[in-house]
Amino acid sequence: MTEYVSTTPGLYPLPDWAKDDLSDLKGHQKHDLISGDEGEEITAAYEEAREEVIEVQQDAGLDRIVEGQLRWDDMLAHPLAVADAVETRGIVRYYDNNNFYREPVVQDDLEPTGDIAAELEATAELIDGDDLQAVLPGPYSLADLATDEQYGDDAEFLGAIAEFLEGEVDAFPEHETLFLLEPSLVENAPADGDDERASEAIDRVASATDADVVVQPYWGALEEKVYAHLLDADIDAVGFDFVANQDDNLYNIQEYGAPDDVALGLADGQNTLVEDPEAIRERTEWVEGQLGVTEFETVYLTTNTEPFYLPYGKYVEKLEVLAEAADLAEVKAA
């Protein structure tokens, strides 16, 4: 019987009170963004906000609890932005949306920082036995968002990023699931040869944990060859953004198959319209019905993108919808 797991790709919006408090504490300029050495008052504000978003997930009944990545001012580029070997320069656009991050420029050999492991350790102490989910940028997306002034070769740089993320994962506390977010696989798809290297880099990061690894591309569907190579990686699940592109995602699964586990991005992480749980459940059944395959072992029900684009209240409602939809799907499957 299929297990339906409600979860998210992390990167949550800050609570409104935290936006105000941190704005006063941090300022509004580029140099005020998180660097990994923030002071006690800022640290305390983020800790309080972390506790709040964990409680929100628990109250909603999500099956996987994430840290929320509230400190990630640079979104997916955060792990590099706090690394000693990296200089952050000008502000650049985050893909084609209206968010921006500091350009991380790698200037020395990368070494793991333990920054994300510390966030997860703090989360593990708060979740009361619930299942912890770690979140990281995938190596291809992190390399795509960064500038290399150290390694001098795209393949070598991607390998160095994968090794860097592997080292970060090594320091993580026990976690049930690891989501690797890979929007660049869609937005800036790797060319021939690079697609195979991207899969190998993902495989390397995934191999650093015993947890179930979900690779979550979004903002569309993967090109066929990219998808086929991704299936070669030793991962447990691939995510499909059924909000942005239904037909091509279905085609990939029908043509090339899928792992035993899948993540279905069925709630819109960027639109304030809150879905109905019954509608999410019906979309899940529709996807499964289109495939003509034996049932998946695990189906993760999630937003298609990070929900930090949403107003705080809408993000909370989306979590509640996902949790209820997973419960409805479990009942239906039984």
Q: What is the DSSP letter of 72?
A: -
Q: Which of 90, 185, 192, 83 is nearest to 139 (CA)?
A: 185
Q: Is the pLDDT of residue 34 over 90?
A: no
Q: Which two tokens stand for residue 259?
A: 């792992």
- Residue 27's pLDDT is 78
Whole-number Å distance between alpha carbons of 57 and 268: 17
**Locus of tokens 């000693």:** 84
Please write the tens of the pLDDT for every residue from 235-291. 999 999 999 999 999 999 999 999 999 999 999 999 999 999 999 999 999 888 887
pLDDT band at 33 (very low <50, low <70, confident <90, very high): confident
Please state, in angstroms and rounded to a whole number, the distance separating the CA atoms of residues 155 and 248: 28
Q: What is the pLDDT of residue 258?
A: 92
Q: What is the pLDDT of residue 294?
A: 65
Residues 161, 74: Cα–Cα separation, whole Å: 17
In this prediction, residue 94 has a pLDDT band, given cuts at 50, 70 and 90, of very high
pLDDT at 215 over 80: yes
pLDDT at residue 332, as a whole number: 66
CA distance 329 to 284: 8
> How big is the chain by its Cα radius of gyration, in Å?
19
pLDDT score of 333: 64
Residue 264 CB-density burial (10 A; 0-12 exposed, 13-18 middle, 19+ buried): buried
What is residue 334's predicted lDDT score, i.e. its pLDDT?
60
Q: pLDDT tens for residues 217-230?
A: 999 999 999 999 99
